[in-house]
Copies of this chain bind each other. A is one copy, B any other.
């Protein structure tokens, strides 16, 4: 399973677009705070595998390419733990 504290420590690159608290800095990006951890992990794996294209998918594939399975689980646990903000 994912570790929230480890996920937070690995989230610096994510925060540039998705916000330090999981509230996206631009509306073309998704908010991540409070999202389901399972979905977040599936999405990161999909980007890593190149299953998403168009839009910002290239950027997400580049970022996710260096993530291990544990990194992905930790990041998913971290963002899922945050309180969603509208």
Interface residues of A (CB under 8 A from B): 24, 27-31, 34-39, 42-43, 46, 49, 51-55, 57, 83-86
Complex contacts, A28 vs chain B, CB 8 Å: 36, 38-39, 42
Complex contacts, A86 vs chain B, CB 8 Å: 34, 83-84
CA distance A57 to B27 in the complex (A): 22
Please give the distance in Å from A32's CB to the nearest CB on chain B.
10
Give the interface SS of chain A, mostly helix, strand, loop or mixed: loop
Please give the distance in Å from A35's CB to the nearest CB on chain B.
6
B35 touches A31 (CB 8 A): yes
Give the residue of B31, B38, B55 whose beta carbon is less than 8 angstroms from that of A27: B38
